Structure 1
Amino acid sequence: MAFGKKNQKEVVKEDLRIWECTSEDCNAWMRDNFKSEETPKCPICKSDMSTTMKELEVVDNHSGGWNKIE
């Protein structure tokens, strides 16, 4: 019998589109499915952001925002 060992769900990762801050002094980024506008500004320093890809754990956005898939 193993105490404390939980059945853990497998972590699903995939390449996802993200937005990165273009400022050299800021390292903020956000997932594309969590942005609030078409071309977001950095929420930390208000600089422009650019898109790139990053391997991340899959997280669904259930906020019901403008980019909700129906």
Structure 2
Amino acid sequence: MYFSKKSKEPLELVQTSIWMCCEDECFGWMRENFSFDKEPLCPLCSSNMEKKTKMLPIL
């Protein structure tokens, strides 16, 4: 039996606009283009969210 470790191609990251939870204890965030609301609430703790950017892989 033969097993090989295939080298995976590195994912291309781009600067993406996201919504991030304002609560310090919560780590909730979502991509802006996946939100239906203009100013969504955090799906984890129901707090307000603010716009930020994050380096994420292309979907």
Higher RCO, Cα 8 Å, sep 6+: 2
- Aligned partners of 1:55, 1:44: CA distance in 2, in Å? 22
Any gaps of 5 or more consecutive residues in structure 2?
none
5+ unaligned residues in a row in structure 1: which ranges?
Answer: 60-70
* 1:32 matched residue in structure 2: 32
How many residues end up aligned between the 2 structures? Answer: 57
Q: TM-score, normalised by structure 2?
A: 0.79
Query: What is the RMSD computed on CA atoms of the aligned residues?
Result: 1.6
* % same residue: 35
- Say which structure is richer in strand: 2
2:33 match: secondary structure: helix
Question: Normalization by structure 1: what TM-score?
Answer: 0.68
